[in-house]
Amino acid sequence: MQKYSGKLAVLYQGVGDIQESQALADRLAVPLYESLVNDCPESFFLSWREGCLKLLDKELLKKGGLVVDISPRNGEQRSWPAPKQDALAQALGRKTKTVVDATTGWGQDSLHIFRMGYELLCIERSQMMAELLVDGFNRLTEEEWMRKLNLKAPKLLWGNAIELLQTLDVPPDCIYLDPMFPPKRKKSALAKKSMVVLRDLLGDDQDKDRLFEVALNVAGKRVVVKSPDYAEPLGEKPSESYQGKLIRYDVYLKS
């Protein structure tokens, strides 16, 4: 599992029960602070703020922090199920019903897939991200539209997807991969803060080739790989590709 190398701690700021923060720190095997001292070595902190668990950057501690956002992104339909019209939906396939997101991360693609009505299983190997996702999915469950439709949030598994995919009882129609690719040599000013922080904490996915190999073996119908438009395909030539804004969805169909 991921090691944090002294970069992460839990910060209790008087919101909720301190025992909850202590339990979180224990699960992650990181320190708990009730106030920050200037010489603390950690750069990032998990803390409950404004009703949700947030990841805070030491340099921007007074700002809002990063959180699993359960709201639809700009341009996404707010109805359920949302229309399957964009490049991601095309890549997932019209006949696809079950999807495993094996690299959930901040959960934005997962939640979009969920809102389009697919049956979704999420896998995340970083325990820190899994804690943030659990908090986000719990908030999702409390949404009025979720209650009205009697919907449950996606199931989340914490662990190495290379191992977990091989334990699934039923092959999913589609396995979705969004691994962290090395950035361009020239850093983009538009790089999302959430991804910059994640890369700083967790690094690149060095085993993405092996993950792709396992996914292709396990998937029932297809594997979809999301990549930046400058990156080479993760596998050999894909069966088809769908272009989004600055990204590409490569589809590998099972014969």
pTM: 0.89
Q: For 218-246, write each residue's pLDDT tens digit.
A: 999 999 999 988 888 988 899 999 998 88
Going from the C-alpha of 57 to that of each of 6, 64, 87, 146, 200, the distances in angstroms are 14, 10, 33, 32, 11
Last residue of a domain, one of 42, 60, 78: 60
Q: Do 98 and 45 share a structural domain? A: no
Question: Please, are residues 88 and 120 in contact by the beta-carbon 8 Å criterion?
Answer: no
Residues 177 and 126 in one domain: yes
Strands 174-177 and 222-228, by their bridges, are parallel
Q: Are both 110 and 212 inside the same structural domain?
A: yes
The SS3 of residue 143 is coil
- What is the predicted pLDDT for the residue at 244? 83
Q: Are residues 98 and 24 located together in one domain of the fold?
A: no
* Per-residue model confidence as pLDDT tens digits over 16-71: 889 999 999 999 999 999 987 667 888 889 999 889 999 998 776 667 789 999 98
Whether residues 102 and 158 fall in one domain? yes
- The answer on 180 and 56 residing in a single domain is no
Lowest mean pLDDT among 40-49, 74-83, 165-174, 211-220: 74-83
The SS3 call for residue 177 is: strand
Looking at 25, 43, 60, the residue that finishes a domain is 60
Count the domains in the chain. 2
Co-location of 193 and 231 in the same domain? yes
Angle, alpha carbons 156-58-182 (nearest 5°) = 60
State how far the Cα of 228 lies from the Cα of 250, in Å rounded to an integer. 11
Domain final position from 60, 78, 97: 60
- What is the span of the domain harbouring residue 38? 8-60
Residue 135 sits in a domain of what CATH number? 3.40.50.150
